[in-house]
Amino acid sequence: MRAAVIAYTVNGAILAEKLRHLSDDEIDIYVSVKSAKYIDAENIITFKSTPAIIRDIFYQYEGIIFIGAAAIAVRSIAPYITSKFKDPAVLVMDDHAIHVISLLSGHVGGGNEWCVKVAGMLGSDAVITTATDVNNAFAVDVFAVKNHLKMINPYMIRDISTRIVNGEQLGIYMQAEEYEKVIQNECKKCSKNIKITDYENADIVILKNKSEIKDMQSKIILIPRNIVVGVGCRRGTEYLKIKSSVMTILEKAGVSAENVNCVASINKKADEKGIIELAEELQADFITYTADELMEVEGEFEPSMTVYNHVGADNVCGRSACRASCNGECLVPKTVENGVTVSVYRYRVYGG
């Protein structure tokens, strides 16, 4: 996680440095100019105004920790809060690390889990107030994030969670067989909350892709984000051309855009605007590999000596998709569509 720690006192700055030393997160430390003059610390960023610094950094980090009063944190982040699916995780702690409070994006943003982790490192008391957590109940949004499932109708989360924390046992149905073991384990852990049932009686449904959806008003729909798309193209290929080619291949493969978790290519394409825009629209990671890393991938790939002489790898789309999917199942080998090469792979074991 890339995180920012905001400190207002000398104790807070010392605590922030301790956290950076103990954590495996990538942490930037921001210290108030009024306190920074009293400390001898390297690699800190000073600030004068909390509202100004939050305006600049709120969406640059996956997580933000305020070491100070909760009221300061609440007032400064309030103008920028938009959605639990977009907001960073926000924690608040006092400058003696007695309490660490999960304030924002506790589930989807991973705030609650991060809060427990930080508290454990500092010997603090983790303060979690989310109803499903304090009742040790099944949380559908946490389950979806941990198992790389996309929530198609997230507006149903509140209804599902309310029913669970009020003691209802809800039914869960899976069309995507690869999640059978995961669901069975969840049902054992949360037997009072969920049980496996058929589609008609289910409240939580895991479908293979978006085309299978029938009812979004009484059930929360989850679909696996288990698809990797490998892409190769000429330098400067337009985004719409790349998108059209990829969507055509996905349709032929019988998967939807919502299933895509990752777009992959060679590192020479790391700045390829069209591919970057595609990954952003799909809300997918964009991963690139060196030519040597691609040539290390084992398997049968249609080679191209022209491509090899140009970039150092004989097959960009297939090898990159295979590597990014951890040598997954090939759904579509290298296919040329409108001048763009596309390959589609699926993780063999995802969420299992």
Instruction: Indicate whether 238 and 325 sit together in one domain.
Output: yes
* Span of 169-178, 258-267, 325-334 with lowest mean pLDDT: 169-178
Instruction: Indicate whether 187 and 247 sit together in one domain.
Output: no
Sole residue written with tokens 């085309």: 211
- Which of 213, 202, 340, 197 shows the shortest CA–CA distance to 265? 340
Instruction: Indicate whether 204 and 172 sit together in one domain.
Output: yes
Instruction: Indicate whether 164 and 201 sit together in one domain.
Output: yes
With pLDDT > 90 as the criterion, what percentage of the chain qualifies? Answer: 77
Instruction: Indicate whether 331 and 289 sit together in one domain.
Output: yes
- For the chain, give the number of residues: 352
Q: How many CB atoms lie within 10 A of CB 28?
A: 18
- Which of 98, 96, 107 shows the shortest CA–CA distance to 151? 107
In the predicted model, what is the mean pLDDT of residues 25-36? 93
Q: What are phi and psi of 39, to 5 degrees?
A: -120, 155
pTM comes to 0.74
Instruction: Indicate whether 21 and 114 sit together in one domain.
Output: yes
CA distance readout (Å), 154 to 113, 150, 277: 21, 9, 24
Residue 187 lies in a domain: yes
Q: pLDDT, tens digit, for every residue of 58-117?
A: 999 999 999 999 999 999 999 999 988 889 999 999 999 999 999 999 998 999 999 999
3-state secondary structure (DSSP) of residue 265: strand
Confidence (pLDDT) at 350: 45
Question: Which CATH number do you get for residue 72?
Answer: 3.40.50.11220
In whole angstroms, give the CA distance from residue 324 to residue 321: 5
Q: Which of 104, 129, 154 is the last residue of a domain?
A: 129
Residue 209 lies in a domain: yes
What residues make up the domain containing 212?
140-224
Q: pLDDT, tens digit, for every residue of 193-234?
A: 899 999 889 999 998 888 777 777 889 999 999 999 999 999
Question: Which CATH number do you get for residue 145?
Answer: 3.40.1390
Sequence-distant (6+) residues with CB within 8 A of 108 are 84, 85, 141, 142, 145
Mean of per-residue pLDDT scores for the chain: 92
- Which of 136, 116, 150, 112 shows the shortest CA–CA distance to 256? 150
Q: How many CB atoms lie within 10 A of CB 270?
A: 13
Residue 134 lies in a domain: no
Confidence (pLDDT) at 351: 42
What is the radius of gyration, based on Cα positions, of the chain?
Answer: 23
Q: What are phi and psi of 227, to 5 degrees?
A: -115, 135
Q: pLDDT, tens digit, for every residue of 260-316?
A: 999 999 999 999 999 999 999 999 999 999 999 999 999 999 999 999 999 999 999
Instruction: Indicate whether 237 and 337 sit together in one domain.
Output: yes
Instruction: Indicate whether 68 and 117 sit together in one domain.
Output: yes
Confidence (pLDDT) at 326: 92
- Which of 66, 76, 70 shows the shortest CA–CA distance to 5? 66
- Which of 89, 87, 203, 81 shows the shortest CA–CA distance to 153? 203
User: What does DSSP say about strands 220-224 and 63-67: parallel, antiparallel, or unpaired?
Assistant: unpaired
In the predicted model, what is the mean pLDDT of residues 142-166? 90
- Report residue 13 as tokens: 């700055």
* Span of 27-31, 72-76, 153-157 with lowest mean pLDDT: 153-157
Sequence-distant (6+) residues with CB within 8 A of 226 are 148, 178, 259, 261, 346, 347, 350, 351
Question: Which CATH number do you get for residue 279?
Answer: 3.30.420.180
Confidence (pLDDT) at 261: 94
Residue 18 pLDDT more than 70? yes
Residue 351 lies in a domain: no
In whole angstroms, give the CA distance from residue 237 to residue 298: 29
349 band by pLDDT with thresholds 50, 70 and 90: low
Residue 148 pLDDT more than 80? yes
Burial of 271 (0-12, 13-18, 19+ CB in 10 A): exposed
